[in-house]
Structure 1
Amino acid sequence: MLKWALIFLVVSLVAGALGFTGVASGAKTVAKVLFGLFLLGFIILILIAWGAGELIF
């Protein structure tokens, strides 16, 4: 999922540089949503590992 967020970020930057503001705005929104979902999943997995006693600090 993080890979797709980075791909949409690059698409957004390229589209913005070429003047396609509508495409850039849409790609930016998709990248932000995907990154948010990735971050939420990562935090949930960390909490599950901590609760199961598998997380070692």
Structure 2
Amino acid sequence: MVIALLLLLLWAGGFLMFHVASGLIHLLLLFAVVAFVVHLVTGSRTA
């Protein structure tokens, strides 16, 4: 969950601050979404 939020923040920061038009910044968003979905599927089993 933490890595998904971190990647999402990096993507948003890069997109808003630098207006980067390359595909790399969008890969950060893709990785954030994938990490979030994996977290939801596996679940957090800590009490």
* TM-score bracket for this pair, using the shorter chain length: 0.7 to 0.9
Larger radius of gyration: 1
The corresponding residue for 1:19 is 19
Give distance in 1, aligned partners of 2:13 and 2:37: 22
Structure richer in helix, relative to its length: 1
Instruction: Point out where structure 1 has 5 or more consecutive residues left out of the alignment.
Output: 46-57
Instruction: Point out where structure 2 has 5 or more consecutive residues left out of the alignment.
Output: none
Which range moved further: 13-22 or 27-36? 13-22
TM-score when scaled to structure 1? 0.66
Measured after TM superposition, the shift of residue 20 of structure 1 is: 1.4
Measured after TM superposition, the shift of residue 24 of structure 1 is: 2.2
TM-score when scaled to structure 2? 0.78
Runs of 4+ in structure 1 over 2 Å off:
21-24
Measured after TM superposition, the shift of residue 26 of structure 1 is: 0.8
